[in-house]
Structures are given as structure tokens and as C-alpha cells.
Amino acid sequence: MLSASNVLRKGVVSKIAPAITSRAASTQALSKPTLNNIEKRWEGMPLQEQADLWMALRDRMKGSWKELTVQEQKAAYWIAFGPHGPRAVDPPGTNGRIAWGVALGVLTSLTIFGAIRMAARPAPATMTQEYQEESNELLKRQNANPLHGISSEGYTGKGVVQSGPGGN
């Protein structure tokens, strides 16, 4: 019959045993089939397997680097700095798709701008050249701003004229 202390010991041993074996495994070189052709297999590997392999390599790198095999060194370098994940090279044609998308966006915005301008009301009558010149004459007759403005002696400004000859 199992006593409570034996059950407790078995539970503790079952929890400690994997930790001991993982430490022992970290001092042993990783197998060649595990690291063989890692560059081509990495993207297709499940995330858990990728993480386990990286952790095993990281544990091996904590020791002396002279103990690492050449294959482990190459795999560690490739996993850390290889062209995968955020460092992956864009597939061919990506720049062309971006250029076409930008061109389409600019063309669409110009089309919308033109449609709004065509549907807009005409400029108000106060924006015509004649109306603004008449406003200047009215201000001169009323002696508006006689010190520095349109009614002053030697004034050379345009007054309220904003648009050039011929309107808008």
C-alpha cells in the first residue's frame, strides 16, 4: 500500500525529472538531423518546435562556444539573423503593386476633386475684378483709413482687389 509520503515523493520526482533531463540535454550537442537543412525547414516548422529548438540552442550557447558544433553555430546564427519573420524579403512584384496602388489612389482623389469642382456653384459676384475695383472707389469716396490705407496720400497698394484681370 502506498503511503501519503510515497505518493508525495512520486509527484515531486515526476515534476523534477523533466527539469533534470532538460539540463542534461542542454549540455549534449543537438542531433544532426534536427539541425540539417534548417534554413529550408524553419518557416514550415510549428511554432512550438521552433521555440524548443531555439531554447535548446540558447542553452547550448550559454556554455563554452568551443563545445558547439559547426552545425549548431550555423543554425544559431541563421535563426537569430536569417531572412525570415520580420527580416523576410518581400516577394517579387510587391513594389509594383504598391506603385499601382498609389497611382490608383492619386487618380481616384483627382477624379473626386474634379467632380466636386464641376458640381460646385460659380464664384460669388464679389470675387469679380469689376466688383472689387468698385469697392476700392467706394472706400476712396468714403475716405476709409486716411492715414495708412486706400484713402491715404501716395497709396500704391491694390486695396481690396484680390483676383487678377478677368475675374477668378
Q: Which residues, in sequence order, are CB contacts of 34 under 8 Å at separation 6+?
A: 53
Q: Which residues, in sequence order, are CB contacts of 59 under 8 Å at separation 6+?
A: 26
Confidence bin at 164 (pLDDT 50/70/90) = low
Confidence bin at 80 (pLDDT 50/70/90) = confident
Domain membership of residue 64 (yes or no) is yes
- Domain that residue 50 falls in: 32-87
The cell numbers describing 133, all together, are 475695383
Helical (H) or strand (E) element with 120: none
pLDDT at 9 over 70: no
Secondary structure of residue 1 in the 3-state scheme? coil
User: What is the rounded CA–CA span in Å between residue 61 and residue 55?
Assistant: 10
**Looking at the 3D structure of the chain, how many domains does it have?**
2
pLDDT of residue 24: 42
Domain membership of residue 74 (yes or no) is yes
Domain membership of residue 19 (yes or no) is no
Average pLDDT, the chain: 80
Domain membership of residue 102 (yes or no) is no
pLDDT at 15 over 60: no
Average pLDDT over residues 68-79: 87
Q: Which of 7-21, 65-79, 82-96 has the lowest mean pLDDT?
A: 7-21
Domain membership of residue 154 (yes or no) is yes
Q: Please give the single-letter amino acid code of residue 109.
A: S
Domain membership of residue 79 (yes or no) is yes
Contact 54, 79 (CB under 8 A): yes
Secondary structure of residue 160 in the 3-state scheme? coil
Helical (H) or strand (E) element with 67: none
Contact 123, 95 (CB under 8 A): no
